[in-house]
Structures are given as C-alpha cells and as structure tokens.
Structure 1
Amino acid sequence: MSIARRLPNTDATRSKALTKAKFKNDSIPVANQFLTTPTITRLDDTQPVLKVAMQRRGTALAEQVDATSEVSQSFLKSRMYISHFFQGFNMGIARGIYMAANRAYYQLDASSDSVPAMHSHQDVAYWGENIETGDAARIAAGGVAMASPTAAEVKAAVDSFNTKNTDQSILKDNYDSKQEAVSALHEEADKVIKKVWDEVETFYNEEENSSRRRKCREWGVVYVSDVEHTFNCTVVDAVTNEGIDTAVIVLLETGNTGTTSNGGRAVLKSTIVDEATFRFTHPGFQAIDMVVPMPTGVTSFDVKAMMEKL
C-alpha cells in the first residue's frame, strides 16, 4: 500500500490544518520549537486572518440566506395581491361595474380576462407598477376605485417586495466580497501549510513510519493511500436510539461530506489512513466529533454517532 500526504484543497481543511499546526506549535516551549522563525511568523499571521475571513463570510452568507427567504415570501405575497387585483377587476367587469376597455389602463388585453403570468421578480415589479399608475389614471378618468385589494394595498405589498429584493441584492454583493477575501488568502495559506508540513516531516524523518505519521498528524498533516476505505455511518438520537435523517457528516481531514437518510445512515468513502475524524451535525442536536482508528488491513468501518438534543 502506497501512502502519501495530501495537502488541503478546501477552506475548511486549510483552516483546520493551520489551526492544528498553530495549536501544536504554541503548546511547545519556545526553547523546544523546531519550526523556523520565518515559518512560525507566517503561521501566526495567516491562521487568524483566514479564520476571521471565513467567519465573516459565514455571517454574510447567513444574512443572505435569511434575506433570500424573506424575498421569496414577499414575492409570493405581492404576486398574490396582483393576481387578486386583476381577478377582482375582471369580476367587476362581469358585473358591469367596470368596462372591459379599462383593462388597457393596466397594459392588459382589453378583450381577455386572463391574469398575467408572473414567474420572475421583474414580472411582479412590472405589473405592480402598472396597477399603481393604471388605477390612478382610470380613477382620474371617472372610474370606480377597486377594493379587496385596493391599488394602495397592492402597492404596499410590491414596495415591500422591492425593498427586500434590493436589500437581498446588497447582502449578496457583501457575501461575494467576503468570499473573494477568503479566496485571496488561498495562495499564502497553501504555502504556509506546505512549509509547516515539510519542516515537521523533516524533524520526524528518523522515526518509524507509523510513529512518524502519528506525530505529524498532531500538526495537521493528512495522509492518504491508494486503498479506498468505506465508512458505514449511522446517526441516532441518544435517548430514543432512532435514526436521524438529514444529519451532515464531515470527514474533517479531507472535507468529504455526506448526509444521512433511510433511518440515519450514510456511507462515506476515503483513502485516508491511520485514523479519521468525523463531525456530525444536525439542527437541534449537539455536534459530535469522533476519531475512528484505522488498523492496517481493514477497509470497512462501522461508525455510530449518538446525538443529544440541545
């Protein structure tokens, strides 16, 4: 079996590698530290900067997701108001309250009682504006005001939607900016991690292979092989022992991710060796980290996480 180290290729694994290396180096008395001074300086500079940048990006994403949900709800509400307005107007025409020709005030086909399709945000903005200006022009020409909903009620719903849509767009730009800030750190983070790992492996290069890898892993070094391993994961409620679906499982060393289904089960595959660290998360439950030892020659592992509710 061929074994080699694998450098991080995701933000999560980069941050984990830097954090683990800094924690290990900080735990060693200064007199016994073996990383070179320039490498320690770069590690101490890069690790907190990447961590903060990722935290800011996470906050920006959470704000954007919340805003997107609000936009979606507001879109449905404003579309409903517009649809009800036109339906009510058409029924008023059928009762003789309004004239069919008055549909033209709203840029509608005067000969059709069809309600316009509204599939996009632009559609809602367009027809909302047509109702605002068209109803004002119709009433000014002597028409009877609409009710249930009124043009003013439609305008309020559409204005709220437009405001939320603008806010969401600003938050999206903010998230994009925070993502770019993280991406800008990739090159230096990758160089620092390689530097640290090179110096750590050199320091332990006279150790027996398994001992060398074990000591290097304490610094965040990740080793993989040419043999694929299977992890049969099960996530259950610690009290009821019932499976928990939609729990997220992350293999921290490599970033491999899975989501449980069919009674809390998921299968992850990886070429990692020696040991694997899994993180289990689910809304409403406490997160769990589990380290799974991987004896040589074993390729399939059963991993059971028992999660406690918050």
Structure 2
Amino acid sequence: MPYRRLPNTDQARLRALKSALDQGRLKYPYDLAYPQQLYHDIQSVFPQFEQAVSQYNFSKERQAKYGKLLSDQFKESRIYVSHFIQVLNFGIIRKEIKPEVREDFGLDIDDKAVPELGTEQQLMHWGKKVIQGEEARMMKGGTRIYNPSIAMVRVKYEKFIEYYNNHKNLQNTTQKMHDKVIEMRNVVDNLILKVWNGIEETYSDLPGDDKRSACSDYGVIYMYRKDEKPMEQ
C-alpha cells in the first residue's frame, strides 16, 4: 500500500505549495479540495519562502565560488611569506644579516626553520609578523631583501586578508539566510500538512487508487515501500 510522504527538501516543499496554489487558482472556492483560508495562507507564504530559499542558495553558491578564490590567494600569499623568511635565513647563513634580527620577526635567534603556515590563522599571524619585522629591520639600517621584496609580500598578504574578510562576511550572510529558511520551514511544513490532510479528507470516500490519483493532482506525494513496489508493477 503506497504511503503519503511529506516533503523533506526545500525544493519539494516549494513544489507542494505551488501545486496546491495552482489548483486554487484553477478551481472555484466551492470546488477546492482544501479550505479556502489555507489557499490564502499559501498565497502569502509561498512567495516569501521561495524568495528565502532563492537568496540562501544564491548566497551559498557565491560563498563557495569566493572560497575557491580565497584558497588561491592563501596559497599565493603563503608562498611569498615562506620565501621571504627563507631568504632572510639565507642572508643570516651568509653572515650578511645578524641572527638577532629574527627577534624582530617574532622568531627565536637560533630558529632556522620556516614557521607553520598551513592554516589561514597561521598565515595571518606570520604574514603580519614578517611585514612588521622587516619594517623594524629597515629602520635600524638593514639592507633590503629582494626576490621577494617586502613590498610584494605585503601586496600578496593584503590581498589574502581582503579575500579572507570578504569570505567571512559571505559566510555570515549565508548563515543568516539559512536561519531564515529554517525558521520558515516549520511554517511551511505545518501548512502543507494541513492542506494535504484537508485534501485527503475531501476524497476520503473514493476507492484507494482513485483517492490517491485525485490527491496527486494537488501535489500530494505517495510512495511505494521497497517490498511493495515490484508487486504493484
């Protein structure tokens, strides 16, 4: 025996509302299989929910695309910060730069390794340290480091920070949109339940197949269980 299954995705919810709404537009109020008041409720709720879902999906897609751009900026900035620290260490090894300058960069004097830059937070921390450290070193009369220059490091780092902040803003916007959709789902689910109950009650005197066929015209969904579907076929 097929069973009724309420929508469990936003697109399915929209289809259910639209099917009931379309029937409400086509039929006279006295021919409608569910209460007229619910038709007015659908007229009010459907466009709001449709817009909320659309805005959420758009924001989510935009966030995903921007996340890819952020990933590219992260990798590029990490290379420049890492290479600058390596060149600094090479200068110290060649005795062109004193080991003490490492302290200006937040590094131990004897630390010849490049700090971990595997996360966005680590890159933000050490990118800032490198820029500030090089400014401090230059103010003490140090010779410039090239390939990469600190100017290029700053450009790449600031670009990464810009994309990081924009992506965070998009994440916050997407979360707000998602919260709004979740809030509306309860209203929509209750409305669909009332509408479908009303439709089934109207056609309750019809034989099983005829009843399901009539209800399906309004968007009511019936599913076969796995062990029943082959038998029906």
With structure 2 as the length reference, what TM-score do the two structures score? 0.92
Alpha-carbon distance in 2 for matches of 1:34, 1:214: 13
Equivalence map 1:171-182=2 (5 Å): 171-182=170-181
**2:6 maps to which residue?**
7
Confirm whether residue 297 of structure 1 aligns to residue 232 of structure 2: yes
Separation in 2, partners of 1:160, 1:202: 62
Distance (Å, rounded) in 2 between the aligned partners of 1:183 and 1:91: 55
Report deviation, 1:114: 0.7
1:11 to partner: Cα distance: 2.0
Question: Structure 1 or 2: larger helix share?
Answer: 2
AA matched with 1:14: R
Q: Counterparts of 2:85 and 2:102 in 1: how far apart (Å)?
A: 9
Q: How many residues align?
A: 233
What SS does the aligned partner of 2:232 have?
A: coil
Deviation at 1:20, TM superposition (A): 1.7
Give the deviation of 1:29 after TM superposition: 4.3
Task: Tell me, yes or no, if the aligned pair for 2:23 and 2:32 is still in contact at 8 Å.
Answer: no
Instruction: Name the SS for the 2:223 alignment partner.
Output: strand
In the alignment, which residue of structure 1 is the partner of 2:22? Answer: 23
Q: What residue number does 2:81 align with?
A: 82
Aligned 1:49-128 pairs, distance under 5 A: 49-128=48-127
Q: Tell me how far apart the structure 1 counterparts of residues 16 and 174 of structure 2 sit (CA, whole Å).
A: 24
Gaps of 5+ in 2: none
Q: Which has more strand, going by share of residues?
A: 1
Counterpart CA distance in 2 for 1:62 and 1:224 is 31
Q: Which residue of 2 aligns with 1:306?
A: none
Match status 1:168 vs 2:167:
yes
2: CA distance, partners of 1:30 / 1:7: 24
**Matched residue type, 2:158:** D
Partner of 1:186: 185
Map of 1:228 onto structure 2: 226
Match of 1:240 in 2: none
Return the letter of the residue paired with 2:64. Answer: V
- 1:38 alignment partner in structure 2: 37
Distance 1:6 1:203 in 2: 18
Deviation per CA, 1:255-285, whole angstroms, max 9, x where unpaired? xxxxxxxxxxxxxxxx8x6xxxxxxxxxxxx
Report percent identity of matched pairs: 25
CA radius of gyration, larger in: 2
Q: CA deviation at 1:94?
A: 2.6
Q: What's the TM-score once normalised by structure 1's chain length?
A: 0.70
Q: What SS does the aligned partner of 2:56 have?
A: helix
Once the two structures are TM-superposed, the CA of residue 19 in structure 1 deviates from its matched residue by 1.5
CA RMSD of aligned residues (A): 1.9
1:109 aligned counterpart, secondary structure: coil
Is 1:151 matched with 2:124?
Answer: no
